[in-house]
Structure 1
Amino acid sequence: MAGHSQFKNIMHRKGKQDAMRSKLFSKLAREITVAAKLGLPDPAMNPRLRAAILAARAENMPKDNIERAIKKASGGDSENYEEIRYEGYGPGGVAVIVEAMTDNRNRTASDVRSYFTKSGGNLAETGAVSFMFDRVGYVAFAASVASADDMLEAAIDAGADDVVSGEESHEVYCEQGALNEVSKALEEKFGEPTASKLVWKPQNTIAVDDETGEKLMRLIGTLEEHDDVQNVFANFEISDSLLAKLSA
C-alpha cells in the first residue's frame, strides 16, 4: 500500500508539471458539467458534483469557471460526453486502467490503443485487468492538517477502511458508497480535502526496474496529456532513485 502511495504521489507531481493549465481546467470543467448533468446542479445534493468542484478548487480553478461549467449542464447546447474505461498492459506486463470522457469514441479508442502499442504494451478487453483493482472512495489531505494518529482515528470514526500517511499527504480509503459521508465528516474536522473521488486501487503492486519504470511513466504521461483522458491508474512501484529523478 505504501508503494502504491509513493507511485501515486510522483504521478500527481508529474501531472502538475506536464499539463498545461488550460488543458487541466478543460478536463475539470468537463467532469463538473457531466456530474451536474447526471444529477442535481447542487453540490450539497450531488456527491459527484461536490467531488468535481473540490478537485477544481484544489487546482485553483477560478470560481467563475466552476459556475460556468455547472450552468453549461442545463443548456441545450452542451456536448454529450460518453464515459469509457480502457484496460490494458503496459511495459513489464503492468496493469493499466484509463478513464476517458469523450464525444468521439472511435477517435479516443484509436489514440489510446496507439499509445499502448508504441510503449510496447497492448490494449485489452474491458475487465481484463480491473479485477486486480478495487473500486474505492479516496479522500486526501495535506500532511500538515493532522498527525498520522489523529487522521487514522478520525478516519476510522468517519467509517473509512484504511489510511496511508506520508510526508506530504494523508490518503484515506473507504467503500465507494461511503465516500460522501466519510469526506464530509473529515472535512468538518480538518477543513476542505485536496481530493475526494472514486479511484481504482491496486490490490497488489509490482516492483519494476528503472528502465521499465521510465517507459511506464512516459506511457502514463502521454495518456494524461490526451484531452479525453480523465484518470490513469496502474499497479506498479518504482525505485526511490527513479522517484527522485522524476521529481527533480
Structure 2
Amino acid sequence: MAGHSHWAKVKHQKGLTDIRKGKLFSKLSREISIAARLGGGDPTFNSRLRRAIATARDEGVPQENIMRAIQKGTGEIAGSHYEEVFYEGYGPGGVAVLIEAATDNRNRTTAEIRNLFSKYGGNLGAAGSVSWIFQKRGKIVVDAEKNDFDKVFEVALEAGAEEVEQKGIEIEVIVLPEKLDELQKQFDSAGIVIKSSQMIYIPKNSISLSDKETLKSLFRLLDILEDQDDVQNVYANFDAPQEILEQCE
C-alpha cells in the first residue's frame, strides 16, 4: 500500500496543475449525482450523498453545482444518467489495478480504458480478475493541525477503527465500511474537524517493485487512467523502497 499511497500523495501535491479544477469538479459532481440517484436527494438519509457533498465542499465546489448535481441524480432536472462501473486489470510489473468509473456510455468508456491499458503497458482484465485482491474500507481524513492526534486516536479506537496514522498535516483513519457513518458521528460529537469521508479499496497484499523504469511506467499508466474523464478513483497494489519512489517523482 505504501507505493500506492506515495503515488496518491504525489498526485495530491501536484494537485490542480495536472487535474484541472473543472475536471475535478466534474468527477465530484458525478459522484453526487450517482449517490442521489441510488439513495435519494436528502443527505440526512443518504450517507453516501452526505460524504460526497462534504468532499465536494472541501474541494471548493460551489453550492449551486452541488444542488444541480443532486437534482440531476433525482431526475428533477434533465441531465446525463451516470452509472457506476468497475474496471480491473494489470499494469507494468504485474501490479493489480482497480478502477472506479462513472459513465453515461459504458461501451465508450470500456473502449477508452482498454486502449489506455494497452498503450501504457498494461492489460484490461475480466470482471473479478483483480477485485479479490482489494477490500472495501471507509476512510476519514482529519486535519492534524486542527486536531490532537491522541484525541483522534482515542475516539477512533472506541469506534472500532482498524488503523489510525498521521501523514504530514493529515490524520487518516481506516474503518470497516459499516462503521464509517458511526465513526463520523463520533468525531462530530467530539469536535474533531473532518476534511473528507469516503469509501476506498485497499489491497490485501502488495507487489514489491524496485526497478525504477518499471515504476515510472506504472506511474504513467496510473496517471493517465486517473486523468480519463470517466474515471473517479484508481487503486493499485504495489510497494517500493522510499528512495526509489522519490527518484520517480
Query: Fold-level match, TM-score > 0.5?
Result: yes
Does residue 143 of the first structure (1) align with residue 148 of the second (2)? no
Does residue 22 of the first structure (1) align with residue 40 of the second (2)? no
In 2: Cα distance, 1:81 partner to 1:164 partner: 34
Change (3 A) 1:184 1:166: same
In 1: Cα distance, 2:157 partner to 2:2 partner: 18
Residue ranges of structure 1 left out of the alignment (5+ in a row): none
Aligned to 1:46: 46
In 2: Cα distance, 1:102 partner to 1:2 partner: 30
Per-residue CA deviation, residues 202-228 of structure 1 (Å, 9 max, x unaligned), is 112223232222211111111111111
In 1: Cα distance, 2:222 partner to 2:4 partner: 15
TM-score of the superposed pair, with normalisation by structure 1? 0.91
In 2: Cα distance, 1:55 partner to 1:246 partner: 29
Per-residue CA deviation, residues 33-87 of structure 1 (Å, 9 max, x unaligned), is 1211211212121100011111111211112211221222232523211211000
Deviation at 1:15, TM superposition (A): 5.0
- Secondary structure of the residue that 1:112 maps to in structure 2? helix
TM-score of the superposed pair, with normalisation by structure 2? 0.90
Aligned to 1:211: 213
Residue ranges of structure 2 left out of the alignment (5+ in a row): none
Aligned to 2:66: 66
In 2: Cα distance, 1:205 partner to 1:71 partner: 40
Aligned to 2:201: 200
In 2: Cα distance, 1:11 partner to 1:207 partner: 20
Q: 2:229 aligns with which of 227, 232, 248?
A: 227
Change (3 A) 1:97 1:190: farther
Larger displacement relative to structure 2 (164-173 or 122-131): 164-173
- Secondary structure of the residue that 1:163 maps to in structure 2? strand
Deviation at 1:120, TM superposition (A): 1.3
CA contact (8 A) 1:10 1:246 kept: no
Deviation at 1:178, TM superposition (A): 1.4
Letter in 2 for 1:167: G
Larger displacement relative to structure 2 (237-246 or 195-204): 237-246
Aligned to 2:179: 178
Equivalence map 1:145-160=2 (5 Å): 145-160=146-161
Deviation at 1:93, TM superposition (A): 0.4
Change (3 A) 1:59 1:231: same
Per-residue CA deviation, residues 91-121 of structure 1 (Å, 9 max, x unaligned), is 0000100111111111101111111111211
Deviation at 1:241, TM superposition (A): 3.7
Change (3 A) 1:19 1:139: same
Larger displacement relative to structure 2 (179-188 or 130-139): 179-188
Deviation at 1:13, TM superposition (A): 2.9
Equivalence map 1:86-105=2 (5 Å): 86-105=87-106
In 2: Cα distance, 1:16 partner to 1:205 partner: 29
CA RMSD of aligned residues (A): 2.0
Larger displacement relative to structure 2 (59-68 or 11-20): 11-20
Deviation at 1:164, TM superposition (A): 2.1
Q: Percent identity?
A: 45
Letter in 2 for 1:44: T
